[in-house]
Homo-oligomer: A and B are copies of this chain.
Amino acid sequence: MEKYRRIGLKLTPQRLAVLQYLEGNTDHPSAEMIYNEVKKKYPMMSFATVYKTIEALKKNGHLLELTIDSERRRYDPETGQHHHLICIRCKRISDIHKSFSIDVPAETQESFDIIGNHIEFYGICPKCKQKGGN
């Protein structure tokens, strides 16, 4: 509670529900996933509120928008530096907490100010491997 208040947002039940759902969540949910989950607890919850809350959290730096899934936006409450592993079959996204030392070529660094990087690993997850298909 206190922790949430510090973000500087009014603490409504809806927001609290979203915040609690996101806390420690590693599913990289879409807006719809958040909506569906939170609606179980607060049936009055609307999509607009989900999107507006997402927007507020993004602005405050408490939520990252992932550009990993071309179908829909996904969100990540883990705002520290980390990378992702995406299953090309089921689109599940897992975290990779390991740091890599990678740098752009020197010529590029001279013209660009490099701020950060993000690695996407692609593969097939255990569950999808089991299901077969090859």
Residues of A within 8 A of B (CB): 65, 67-70, 73, 85, 87-88, 94, 96, 98, 100, 102, 104-105, 108, 111-126, 129
Contacts and interface: CB of A to CB of B under 8 A. Distances in A.
How many copies of this chain are found per oligomer?
2
A69 B117 CA distance: 15
A112 B98 contact: no
A6 B119 CA distance: 34
Contacts of A100: 100, 102
Given A67-B70, A70-B73, A113 B104 contact: no
Nearest to A109: B123
A96 B106 CA distance: 11
A117 B111 CA distance: 25
A121 B103 CA distance: 9
A1 B121 CA distance: 36
A98 B121 CA distance: 17
Nearest to A111: B126
